[in-house]
Structure 1
Amino acid sequence: MKNFNTYTANEWIKEASSKPIPKMLFSEFWFENELSILFADTNLGKSILAVQIADSISKGKAIEGFKLEAEKQKVLYFDFELSSKQFEARYADNYKNHYSFDDNFLRSELDYESPHFDNKKILDCISKEVEMHKTKIVILDNLTFILEDVEKGSLALDFIKKLKQLKTDLDLSILVLAHTPKRDFVKPISNNDLQGSKMLMNFVDSCFAIGKSFLEYNVKYIKQIKQRNCEHIYNESNICLCTITKGAKNNFLQFEFNKYGNEHDHVNNPKADYLEDLELTYRLHQQGKKNTEIAKLLGVSEGAIRKRIRKLET
């Protein structure tokens, strides 16, 4: 039985040159034929962004501020997070005036009552569903459900190998949503912040993450973590700053691109916060406000204000 295909490097290049160039599905974050991971802490909008990407591809219309090169086509979104009613609520106004998705957007929920369902063979179930609907774009929401013990190296490795094989066998583009364990918000997001990262990060083609801005209220940012089909464009010095909004007319919950920024300006920097409070303390003191008033305004003790003023006057 043959296990390897071995040719000269030039033969491989000739073979590869006959294949189409992968097109962008979501700017440089995710290309066709890639196994990609999108991760973030809870409640930062992973599913919102993933549905928005699926909606974009299904309609053949780029998200404003981002790029789409692929043609309009079917997307199969496996939702292991929300119930149908919860999904409805996100894309409606009090369950009325629903957002209109394209019929190319297919959403799949598990049928727990099915006698054929086996959690250990979930990838086989996914494969059958993909083949049935003849789609090439697959989104899995999320990894924690599919892989019960994501931190266990052997399980993670086995899972990612099977997922890569599924991608190759069916010529798929796969986006997997994942969580991050508790992380240090003082530091920029890195590949170490993906839950079960050691095994998973090594084998995926690309990876991007959502972070929370501590500089601007309600602002999230999107950052590239790993890429193979392009340069590292959206790095620490060039993150995409967005706000989550709901369309007043169409009730579509979405990431709205604002501008590019530097991640170091948006991480939670205690030193920067302290210096800002120190400056504010000085200004209020110069205005003649009492220590007790300043303490109340800044939410600290009166003793802390006394120490700051002594430090400023020495």
Structure 2
Amino acid sequence: MENNSPNLLEVRTANQVLHDASLQPDPKLLYDPLIIQGELVILFADTGIGKTALSVQIATQIAKIGYQVLYVDLELSDKQFEKRYRTDEGQHFKFPENFYRAGYCVLKKFPEMGYEEFFIASLKRHIEETSATVIVIDNMTKIVAGSTDTAKCTIPIMNSLSEMKFGQGLTFLILEHNKKVDEWRPISLNDLQGSKMKSNFADSVFTIGRSAKDKNIRYIKQLKVRSSELVYDTDNVLICEITKVDGYLGFREIARGNELDLIRQPTENTRSSKIESATRLKNQGLSNIAIADQLGVTEGAIRKWLKST
């Protein structure tokens, strides 16, 4: 008896899956090693650290190799964007013609649908208009009516983006904020707002850290990958300098290094802060091993700290 009810899953033999997949082209590295074609990628970092500058730079480079790129800028006004990409003499940087930027427009009347639903509908329309295959959304906070740290508010949006990724073969780079990060410990996946839920949707996640030694120095660190090698880990972060050359604000690669050499070194005054952090994470249900990994210490130190509280 035929069942015409909706079905979420498609079942094939493993051998059939391998055969079908072999007929598809291998995904291409669009921005080595951070962006792979057909993936949903999350970039998160603190406010004012350069997420927008780096994501525009990534989008520009992808456009230069021939891909239609749509940059959804929900952060900067047109004037703020313009000031970033002009020289002191008023000359503008020349973006590729296949680099499109979308910003908010003034609405006289809001449609009778939810904000998230309206955003996705608008996004789909502009993707079709521009034939974009690579989409940057800056940032997640501006397209969710509630807090992006809650699954209830964020899952519908992430579901919609994932559906578009699979259904249309699109590549997404989604910008997001981080939680408050202690300056003396390495950045981890748990520092992403709504980390567990969002990282489950993402194919890869990377972050930007700030050097404690130089206000213009940043470092890029990968935290999750599915289809490529994890290149920029704690022992090998990509160190960059924020520069503006010929009217272009961007990141200039200067070296590779260890993240521990760039973050603020702990002092005796930070010991109490570490103990407070360990206690807070324990109350959140994390194991001693997971807490030790986050705080960059041994599991034995965590046991000792928790016993002292």
Task: Give 1:145's aligned amino acid.
Answer: K
* Residue of structure 2 in register with 1:158 after alignment: 156
8 Å CA contact 1:89–1:95 kept in 2: the answer is no
* Correspondence list, 1:247-262, <5 A: 247=245, 250-262=246-258
Are positions 1:269 and 2:269 aligned together?
Answer: no
| Matched pairs, number | 261
Gaps of 5+ in 1: 61-71, 275-314
- Measure how far apart 1:210 and its partner are: 0.3
* Residue of structure 2 in register with 1:5 after alignment: 10
Task: Give 2:262's aligned amino acid.
Answer: H
**2: CA distance between counterparts of 1:224 and 1:153?**
23
- Measure how far apart 1:59 and its partner are: 1.2
SS in 2 for 1:210: strand
**1: CA distance between counterparts of 2:265 and 2:185?**
8
* Residue of structure 1 in register with 2:200 after alignment: 202
**Residues 109-162 of structure 1, C-alpha deviations (whole Å, 9 max, x = no match):** 121325465623211211111012111000000011012311122222222112
Are positions 1:105 and 2:99 aligned together?
Answer: yes
Aligned CA distance change for structure 1 residues 217 and 151 (closer, same or farther; 3 Å) = closer
SS in 1 for 2:123: helix
* Residue of structure 2 in register with 1:140 after alignment: 137
* Residue of structure 2 in register with 1:295 after alignment: none
SS in 2 for 1:85: helix
* Residue of structure 1 in register with 2:227 after alignment: 229
Aligned CA distance change for structure 1 residues 234 and 190 (closer, same or farther; 3 Å) = same
SS in 1 for 2:267: helix
Length-normalised TM-score, structure 1 = 0.79
SS in 2 for 1:111: coil
Task: Give 2:154's aligned amino acid.
Answer: A
- Measure how far apart 1:3 and its partner are: 3.1
8 Å CA contact 1:88–1:95 kept in 2: the answer is no
SS in 2 for 1:270: coil
Task: Give 1:260's aligned amino acid.
Answer: R
- Measure how far apart 1:271 and its partner are: 3.0
Asked which structure has the greater CA Rg, the reply is: 1
Aligned CA distance change for structure 1 residues 272 and 234 (closer, same or farther; 3 Å) = farther
- Measure how far apart 1:203 and its partner are: 1.3
- Measure how far apart 1:175 and its partner are: 0.3
Aligned CA distance change for structure 1 residues 272 and 237 (closer, same or farther; 3 Å) = farther
**1: CA distance between counterparts of 2:226 and 2:84?**
34
- Measure how far apart 1:96 and its partner are: 0.7
Task: Give 1:20's aligned amino acid.
Answer: P
* Residue of structure 1 in register with 2:20 after alignment: 15
- Measure how far apart 1:34 and its partner are: 0.3
Are positions 1:75 and 2:62 aligned together?
Answer: no
- Measure how far apart 1:93 and its partner are: 2.4
8 Å CA contact 2:178–2:193 kept in 1: the answer is yes
**Residues 273-314 of structure 1, C-alpha deviations (whole Å, 9 max, x = no match):** 99xxxxxxxxxxxxxxxxxxxxxxxxxxxxxxxxxxxxxxxx
**2: CA distance between counterparts of 1:261 and 1:3?**
45
* Residue of structure 1 in register with 2:288 after alignment: none
Aligned CA distance change for structure 1 residues 243 and 272 (closer, same or farther; 3 Å) = farther
Task: Give 1:107's aligned amino acid.
Answer: R
Gaps of 5+ in 2: 271-309
**1: CA distance between counterparts of 2:108 and 2:50?**
30
**1: CA distance between counterparts of 2:46 and 2:198?**
17
Give RMSD over aligned pairs: 1.8
Q: 188-197 or 108-117: which moved more? A: 108-117
Percent of residue pairs identical:
37
- Measure how far apart 1:49 and its partner are: 0.4
Are positions 1:171 and 2:165 aligned together?
Answer: no
Length-normalised TM-score, structure 2 = 0.80
**2: CA distance between counterparts of 1:28 and 1:4?**
31
* Residue of structure 2 in register with 1:31 after alignment: 36
* Residue of structure 1 in register with 2:51 after alignment: 46
Q: 188-197 or 215-224: which moved more? A: 215-224
* Residue of structure 2 in register with 1:128 after alignment: 125
SS in 1 for 2:218: strand
Aligned CA distance change for structure 1 residues 213 and 273 (closer, same or farther; 3 Å) = farther
8 Å CA contact 2:140–2:175 kept in 1: the answer is yes
**1: CA distance between counterparts of 2:265 and 2:184?**
5
Aligned CA distance change for structure 1 residues 182 and 3 (closer, same or farther; 3 Å) = closer
**2: CA distance between counterparts of 1:79 and 1:191?**
24
- Measure how far apart 1:270 and its partner are: 2.6
